[in-house]
A and B are shown apart, each in its own frame.
Chain A
Amino acid sequence: MENKILLECKEIKKSFGGVHALKGIDFVLNRGEVHALVGENGAGKSTLIKIFSGVVFPDEGSIFLKGKEIKIQNPLDAHRKGIIAVYQEPLVYPKLSVLENIFIGNEIKKSNGEVDWKSEEKRAIELFKSLDIKSEDFIRKPIGKLTTAIQQFTLIAKALNYNAEVIIFDEPTAILSDIDAQNLFKIIKLLRSDGKGIIYISHRLEELQGLADRITVMKDGEIVGTGNNVDMTKKRIIELMAGKNVIEKIQRNNHEEKKDIILKVQGFSKDRVFENISFDLKKGEILGFAGLVGSGRSEVMEAIFGFTKYDKGNIFLEGRNIKIHKTSDAIDLGIMYLPESRKLGLLQNKSILDNVGLPVFNRFLKSLGFINNNNLNSSIKQYVELLSIKAPSLFTNVEALSGGNQQKVLFSKGLIAQPRVLILDEPTHGIDVATKVDIHKLIAKLADDGISVIVVSSELPEIIALSDRVIVMHEGKITGTFEGNQITSLNLISAFVK
């Protein structure tokens, strides 16, 4: 008699540099079950499956496979133990054929050591047949030229060749067409009826209804609810994801009604990235852009800033239709964008002076291209003081500063350009809580002073605490706009997972 429980983990804990990604996870996967995992970005789903697939090692806790405690050393070890993960963008060798991808590192060989292509082909066709796929047409083609769906199917075939029993899917349908997704669901059901255990991560709650046997909701590194499909309605899942915590708004001093539209974006589109994005930004307003990672928010902002190109659409600044070809156009017009990662925003091995001055050297021109260092330095000093950046001197290299101080240097660099529109992408990413509050207060003050701020953030509490208005994007489209007391976790998450 076989054990019903296939994979189980108990009290799994994991932290990254003081941030608790997983705070004691108990999780059970049965044979012949599709177990869905849902939750916001940062809820800990990815960390959990990385632990199962051997990419990350847990700090505490134990994992049991078919009742026996195991340690998963690395991804190859996970393969050997029968646990395989299929990611959204399949990890394949694009130049190699489907066949080679299935058998790489695990080739069938003849007695003389040569690869036995015939046996491999026969075996591969069998594997695909068990998934109800006719593979003769594509099996010898380079996999990079085939569709994402076929790449995923190949990885499933590869998993079966390893006799995998646990197959993990991480947002597999996010970049699949509807038909391919339907095919994938069919295959997953086949695998289920074959007695495999499947962990399925998705943000598309609809697709879980027909597919998942059980659904587990994660939030902030914990499991907040788990239940059978029938009990876990969409409404219930969203409630669990949103949680009960009340988020306090950051205090604002300027309570005037915001009505002057400063920036208007109309019908903004870029093929496969974002579609028909239209919104207004009012003077002195903080406009939050919420959504999951990859929903196209940063891409919209980069295009507005002139860092990347867009296909269609218009930008109006104070009613004037503007054309931005390069980033310096945007900066000259008073639009400043500060990127998500401090690595993208700052030259790490250059000084605070050089970094902050970078966008505005041409405003401190003496003559013949020389920089008026006195004016520049005193101006930079002013911002360094305003933001109370802690550094030995202005000549200190940025890499020697703490994350919070680096973020403040980045802010100085944005502010010195005296923008009317300031676009902040994940302004507190990877920063300690105290500095986070500082930066939130600063953003509120900037808005009170009349700067219009767009905050792109994947952290809902940040969006809720800061924003006067929130736009939610999902898969490149705007799926909701919320204002005032409509800005709640529940409403935002409902728009996230449409």
Chain B
Amino acid sequence: MINSIKNSTVDDVKSLEKNKSIALIFLNRKFLLLLLFIIIYAFFAVFAHNFNSFQNIESIMIFSVEIGLLSLGETLVITSGFGGIDLSVGSMLGLSAIVIGELIGRFGLNIWLAIIIGLLVGTGTGLFNGLMIVYAKIPPLLTTLATMYLYSSLALLVSMDQYGNAMPISNFPSIYSIFGQSNILGIPLQFILFFIPITIILYILVQKTIFGKHLLSTGTDEIVSKLSGINVNKIRLWVYTISGLLAAIAALIETSRIASARPDLGSNMNLEAITISVLGGTYIFGGTADIIAVFIASILVTMLDNGLFLIGVNTIWQTGALGFLLIGALILDLIIRKRSL
């Protein structure tokens, strides 16, 4: 490639080989998940009644979208480093959902306007997280722990009726159902028009753009990045804001899917999003992200839930299975990282 490169020493070549094998193993996260996917799929196809039906596959796709979007946001946040984590994704979803629901169901606002406001609310809550972390310098874990409570409390407040009871909203116009209940050629619309395009956009954002380069650099080493003229604060503000926006999009899809908006939507999704992100190869200390692997991981986890349910495993064990999967992935991570040192 380059003249001086031709003079490379034996050591250099060795290290190149080492690098290649590292790169291969890291790349393997996607293949590893696909392999796991196939094994789990085959297992359930044999043992779970109805698992391998078109309807069931469709429902796995449907259920993977909302948690998948949260996991993608989580991935960006964790990748930005500095202990980056977002515990409030579920609460942002809940708040955005109830805002959309109230605006349409109680105030009869134009649904498009309501959706835009809902998305803005989600984006705003994400931005608020970012501002607290970047400017008040509160560690992300604590900031988002606080806003997790704050946003779900706000959601309850918004949903109160005149008697002070938190009420769900269910009177959406029928057109609103297109986001979560329709399909294109049998494939759920939210999967094709939201999940896949957003995954591709984020993949390109992280891998091909300046923003992505700066994000990975910031997460790898804040000081090197600052000394290279990167505005690490700006990067961090952006990732938390994007996480909020994605939570709001998930809120839109979920309220449309179940034709109802409740303030507690998303309350059990906070930690699951982190789990899926880590399972998808996101390095918990930042700097490494594989968007496609996170995409696969969110389908994998949804499929696992679905399959366990179908073969009649107690729901209590479903969360346990997720725990096992995560520990397995982390041990694998450790082995890979040790070998690459």
Residues of chain A at the chain B interface (Cβ within 8 Å): 305, 307, 326-328, 330-332, 337, 339, 344-347, 349-350, 354, 357-359, 361-362, 365, 368-371, 381, 384-385, 388-397, 400, 413, 417
Contacts and interface: CB of A to CB of B under 8 A. Distances in A.
Given A370-B209, A385-B2, A350 B227 contact: no
Nearest to A402: B11
B30 interface: no
B220 A390 contact: no
A390 B8 CA distance: 6
B213 interface: yes
Nearest to B8: A392
Contact of B7 (A326, A331, A390): A390
Interface string B212-242: 0110110011011111111100000000000
B201 to A, nearest CB: 11
B227 A327 contact: yes
Contacts of A370: 208-210
Interface of B: 1-5, 7-9, 12-13, 15-16, 18-19, 205, 208-211, 213-214, 216-217, 220-221, 223-231, 287
A345 B214 CA distance: 15
Contact of B12 (A328, A369, A391): A391
Nearest to A413: B228
B228 A327 contact: yes
Contacts of A392: 5, 8, 12-13, 15-16
Contacts of A347: 217, 220-221, 224
A472 to B, nearest CB: 25
Nearest to A308: B226
A361 B208 CA distance: 11
A337 B226 CA distance: 11
Contact of A358 (B18, B19, B228): B228
B217 A369 contact: no
Contacts of A350: 216-217, 220
Nearest to A387: B4
Contacts of A396: 12, 15-16, 19
Given A391-B8, A396-B19, A357 B213 contact: yes
B227 A337 contact: yes
A345 B15 contact: no
Given A354-B217, A390-B8, A400-B19, A361 B210 contact: yes
Contacts of A391: 4-5, 8, 12
Contacts of B18: 400
Contacts of A369: 205, 209-211
Contacts of B208: 370-371
Contact of B1 (A337, A388, A393): A393
A346 B214 CA distance: 13
Nearest to B208: A370
A371 B3 contact: no
A344 B223 CA distance: 6
Nearest to A330: B229
A368 B230 CA distance: 18
A369 B3 CA distance: 32
B231 to A, nearest CB: 6
A265 B276 CA distance: 52
A358 B4 contact: no
| Interface hub of B3, B16, B19, B227 (most chain A Cβ within 10 A) | B227
Considering the complex of A and B, which 8 residue pairs feature the smallest CB-CB distances, nearest first? Answer: A400-B15, A392-B16, A328-B229, A331-B229, A358-B228, A369-B209, A361-B210, A359-B228
Contacts of B12: 390-392, 396, 400
A371 B12 CA distance: 28
A381 B227 CA distance: 22
A330 B231 CA distance: 12
A393 B5 contact: yes
A138 to B, nearest CB: 32
Contact of B227 (A339, A349, A362, A385): A339
A356 to B, nearest CB: 10
Contacts of A354: 213, 216-217
A371 B230 CA distance: 15
Nearest to A405: B12
Contact of A327 (B3, B210, B217, B226): B226
Nearest to B22: A397
A491 to B, nearest CB: 33
A368 B205 CA distance: 10
B228 A384 contact: no
Contacts of A385: 2-4
Contacts of B2: 381, 384-385, 394
8 contacts: A358-B228, A359-B230, A362-B210, A370-B208, A385-B4, A390-B12, A391-B5, A392-B15
Nearest to A377: B1
Contacts of A349: 220, 287
